[in-house]
Structure 1
Amino acid sequence: MFRISTNLPNDNMQFHTRRREHMMNQAQNQMASQSRILNLRDAPLSAAHSTRYQSYLARLNRFSDNIRFAQNNYRVAEGYMKQGVDMLQRVRELAVQGATGTYSRDDLRHMANEIDELLREFVEVANGRNADGTMLFSGKKSDTIPFRVIEGNVPGAAGSVITRVDYVGDIGERQTEIAENSYIELNFAGNRVFWAENQQIFSTVDSEGYAVQENGRIFINNTPVDLTVGDNVFSIISKINDSGATVRARLDPVQNSLILESTTPSQLWLQDGPGSTVLQDLGILSSGEAPPPGNIAATANVFGGSVFDAMIALRDSMLSGDQLDIGGGALRGIDAALDNVLSNLGRLGAKDARLEHAFLRTEFEIPRIGALNSNEVDIDMTEAITNLRMLEFTHRAALATAARVIQPTLLDFLR
C-alpha cells in the first residue's frame, strides 16, 4: 500500500497541468512559425537534413544571381562589340572603294577623314563601361580605361589625329561562380578582343650558347614556365611550347635568336619571374621594371598590331594616296581585325548559351530543394490544429476533474 499525503493529489495535478500547458504552448509556437522544429532536439535528423538543404538553397540563389549578373555583362559587351563590327564593315567598304583607283586624292582624303572619325568612335567602344561603371575590356583593372590615345601630326591630315592607341589594362580575368566549383569570366581583355593579327617578337640576340644560370620561372600570358639550371635555348623553347600558353616559340635559323608568336590574334604578355632574367638575357624583354606590354626590349622587332593599328594604317595610306597599300596590307589588316572581333563575338555568344542552360538548371533545382526542405521542417497544419484541440479538450477535462477530486482543506470552511 502507498501512503497518500494530503498534498500528493494536488502536486500530481499541478505537474500534469503544467506539462499539458507546455505541450499546448509548443503546439501554438509550431503553428505560428509553421515549422515543427523549434529546437534541434525536436527532430535531430530532420534538423540536420534541413541545415544541408538550406545551405544548398542559399548557394543556388547566389548562383542564380551570379548568372543574371554575368548575362547582363555579356549583353552590354555584345552591344559594344556589335557596334565595333558595324564600324569595321564600314571601314572595309571605304578600303575597297579606295583601292579601285577611280577616286582622286581629295576623295581619298575625305575617306580618310571618315575613317579617322570612326577610329575615334571605336576607341570609345573599346573603352566601354558596364552599368555599374566598371570597364568591360580592361581585364582585372576594371577601374582603368583600357585604351590610351596618343595624338600627333600626320602628313596630309588637317590638324592633330590619333597616331597610336596603347593598351593599359591587363589580361587577368574576374570570374564568378555559376555552379559548384564551376566558374565563368565576367570581363574581357581588350588586347585580345580588339586585336587584328598574331603578334610576333623577334629577338636580335644570338642565343645559341645560352644556358640558364639558376632555377627560375618566366610567365607567358600569365602561364608559368619553370626553368632549371643548364637549360639551353632549345629546352626553353620546348618548355614554352608545352606550357599550354597560347604562344609558339621557335629559333630564328639565321640569327639563332628566339622568336615568340601568339597562336591567336592577341598581344603577348611576357614577364620574368622573381630573380629570373631569362627573357631579358635572350633579348625579348628590356632590363627595366616596366610592366607588360611596355617591357619589350628596344632591340627586339615586333610585328602584328591591333584593330586601331589597322585603321590608322589604312587612314594614313589614304592620306598619302598609296593605292597599292590601300588594297594590299591595309585592307588585309582590316579583314583580320573584322574576323577577330567576329570570332570573339561568337565566343561571347557561346558563353551566353552556357549561362542560359546553367540558369535553367539552377531555377529547376531551387524549388526541388525547397520542397525537400519543406518535407523535413514544415508542419502539417491540419494535424497541428487537431492535436491542439485535443490538448485543449483534455486540459479542460483534467481541470474539471481536479476541481471535483482534490480534497477540501480547512481553509475552505473558514468564513
Structure 2
Amino acid sequence: MRVSNTTMRNNVMRNIQLSLREMNEAQRKLASGRLVNQPSDNPIVAARLLNLNVALTESAQFQTNVRDGVAWLNMTDTTLGTVGEALHRAKELTLAGANSTLPPDVRAYNSREVDQLMRHVISLANASFDGDRTLFGGTHHGSRPFPSSEGPGGVVVDVPTAGAGVGRINYEILRGSELQVNVEGDSLFRTGAGNVFGALEMARNALAATPTANIQDAIAALDQALGNVLDARATVGARQNRLAMTEMRYQEEQSTLTELKSKLGDVDMAEAIMNFNVREHVYQAALGAAARVMQPTLLDFLR
C-alpha cells in the first residue's frame, strides 16, 4: 500500500499532538494537585466531589451552630451559678435575721446587703451574650429585659417591655433538629412561683421590718428560688452534654469527609511526577522520530 508524504506527515503531527496533550494533562495535575480540574475530566468523580463539598459545608455550618450554642450555655451556666451563690448568701443573712436575739441594727445591715445582692442579680439577669442578645431576655432585643428603679426600701424591678424575657432561642444542630439554648428569664426571675427577684425582695423587706413576722416566708421563698435555679442549671447541663456529643460527631464527620475527598480528588505527587516524566520522554521521543522521518527530501537523495 502506498503511503504518501502527506499521510505520513499528518500521522506524525497527530501523534505529536497526542503526546503533547497527555504531557500537558500530566503537568496540569501535577501543578494543581488535583485529579479532577473540570467535570469533563471524570464526571462521576466530579459529581462525588461536589456532593462531598456540599456535605462539608453543611457540616461546618452545623458545627458553628453547635459551638455558638456551647458558648451560650456555658455563659448561662456560669451566670446561674453566680445567681445561686447570691441566693445562698441572702438565705444566710435571712436565717441570721430570724434569730430574735439579733440586734436590730445588724438585721438592718443584713437587709441592706440583701438589697445589694438583688442589684447584682438584676445585672446578671440583664447579662449580654454577644452585645445584642441577652442571656435571659428571650427573643427580646434592644433594651434591658429587666429594668429597675429606686423604691422606698431599695431597688425595685419594674414591669418590663412586653415580650421581654420570654421566647425560645433555638439553634439547628442537625438537619431538621433544633435545640433550645436559652433559659427564659421572665418565669425564673420575675413571674414564676418562687421567682428570684420576688424571693430577694421578700427577704430584704422582712429583714427591714419590725417585727420580723415574714422572715420564715422569705426563707421558704429563697429555698424555692434556689430550687428553680438548680433545675435551670440541670436543664442547661443536659443541653451542654448533648452539644458536646454532637460536636464530637461533627469533628469525626469532618475528618472522614476530608479524607474521602482527598482520596478521590488529590494527586499522589510521587505518581504524578513519575507520570509527567514518562509523558515528557514520550513527547521528546515523538519529536525525535518525527525529525528523522520528515527530514529526507529530494535534495537529500540527489546529494
Same fold (TM > 0.5): yes
Match of 2:195 in 1: 306
Aligned-residue identity in percent: 29
- For these two proteins, the number of residue pairs brought into alignment is 299
Secondary structure of residue in 1 paired with 2:5: coil
Residue 55 of structure 2 corresponds to residue 56 of structure 1: yes
Deviates most, 69-78 or 344-353:
69-78
Q: 1:108 to 1:411 in 2, by over 3 A?
A: farther
| Cα 1:75/1:411, change in 2 over 3 Å | farther
Query: Which residue is equivalent to 1:100?
Result: 99
Q: Distance in 1 between matches of 2:106 and 2:117?
A: 17
Q: Residues 181 and 239 of structure 2 are in contact (CA less than 8 Å); yes or no, is this contact kept in structure 1?
A: no
Please give the per-residue CA displacement for 1:118-163, whole angstroms capped at 9, x wherever unaligned: 1111111111112545311101124331101132224xxxxxx223
User: Secondary structure at 1:128's aligned position in 2?
Assistant: coil
| 2:157 equivalent in structure 1 | 164
> 1:192, CA displacement in angstroms?
3.1
Higher strand share: 1
Name 1:334's counterpart in structure 2: 222
Equivalent-residue separation in structure 2 for 1:376 and 1:129 (angstroms):
46
SS at match of 1:176: strand
Corresponding position of 2:64:
65
For 1:163, the aligned partner's letter is: V
TM-score (structure 2 length as normaliser) = 0.90
Q: By how many angstroms is 1:7 displaced?
A: 2.5
Residue 171 of structure 1 aligns to a residue in which SS?
Answer: coil
Which ranges of structure 2 fall in alignment gaps of 5 or more residues? none
**Aligned residues: CA RMSD:** 2.2
Q: Is the 8 A contact 1:165 1:308 kept in 2?
A: no
Aligned to 1:45: 44
Cα distance change on mapping 1:23 and 1:162 into 2, 3 Å: same
Which consecutive aligned stretches of 4+ in structure 1 deviate over 4 angstroms post-superposition? Answer: 409-413
Change (3 A) 1:7 1:18: same
Q: 2: CA distance between counterparts of 1:165 and 1:68?
A: 34
Structure 1 residues 126, 409: closer, same or farther in 2, change over 3 A? same
Aligned letter for 1:355?
A: L
Please state if 1:189 is matched with 2:78. Answer: no
The CA distance in 1 between the partners of 2:194 and 2:150, in whole Å, is 17
- Within the candidate set 244, 247, 261, 1:373 is matched to 261
Q: CA contact under 8 A between 1:167 and 1:191: conserved in structure 2?
A: no
107-116 or 165-174: bigger deviation = 165-174
Relative to its length, the structure with more helix (as a share) is 2
Find the counterpart in structure 2 of residue 234 from structure 1. none
Tell me how far apart the structure 2 counterparts of residues 358 and 12 of structure 1 sit (CA, whole Å). 62
Would you say the 8 A contact 2:194–2:222 is kept in 1?
A: no
Deviations 1:169-225 (A, max 9, x none): 142222222222222233332113325xxx6xxxxxxxxxxxxxxxxxxxxxxxxxx
Q: Cα offset for 1:411?
A: 8.9
For residue 63 of structure 1, report the CA deviation from its aligned partner. 2.0
Compared CA separation, residues 7 and 411, structure 1 to 2 (3 A):
farther
